[in-house]
A and B are shown apart, each in its own frame.
Chain A
Amino acid sequence: GAVVSQHPSRVICKSGTSVKIECRSLDFQATTMFWYRQFPKQSLMLMATSNEGSKATYEQGVEKDKFLINHASLTLSTLTVTSAHPEDSSFYICSAISGTGGYEKLFFGSGTQLSVL
């Protein structure tokens, strides 16, 4: 099946620094990728939809300038948490669609646990 690689799996950083998370589709082209945030014991919260070659579509309440998303190729999307603060600490998960149908199943990365000190 399709594989989505997310890196790093865990990152600890100081407050005020920026952190980049990569999401790669290894064996398929993903025109659309999604970025989620998951708090402990809670569901996935969609942050943004990333389309290759165009600007990401952010969900209401998600700061575009804080969570920078770049989808420069059909196999790579990146999420940069700029000027991270402790409240940004969370589990971030990317996913990608294999295929052109919007109802295709999502393939998820293994997630990134971000801890901001």
Chain B
Amino acid sequence: AQSVAQPEDQVNVAEGNPLTVKCTYSVSGNPYLFWYVQYPNRGLQFLLKYITGDNLVKGSYGFEAEFNKSQTSFHLKKPSALVSDSALYFCAVYSTSGTYKYIFGTGTRLKVLA
């Protein structure tokens, strides 16, 4: 079965410190990987995606993510967290074989403490 796992319901980090939000996946075929952010009562906003090429992908608002094929992971990172980064983050995979649909993780709530 195809799935996306975000093992942490919540991540707390102090402002100015680096942050990591974890994501692992299990899909057949070559996965296309995405990170989205959701603010309260809003839709999701695209942060970044990995399709092919360099394993380190840079996205919006200073976020980046590293694709690791052997570990089937796509962790979201930022060198220095801001209070305004506090939100709900979703990892998503688009499967290129089988279902051809987007699969979302359960989300990780990031709380950046001043």
Contact = CB atoms under 8 A, between A and B. Distances in A.
Interface of A: 4, 6, 9, 34, 41-44, 46, 49, 91, 93, 95, 102-103, 105-111, 113
A109 B102 contact: no
16 contacts: A9-B41, A41-B107, A43-B105, A43-B107, A46-B102, A49-B101, A102-B94, A102-B96, A103-B96, A105-B34, A106-B34, A106-B44, A106-B92, A107-B46, A108-B44, A111-B42
A77 to B, nearest CB: 14
SS of A interface (majority): strand
Interface string B97-114: 000111011110000000
Contacts of B94: 102-103
Contacts of B106: 42-43
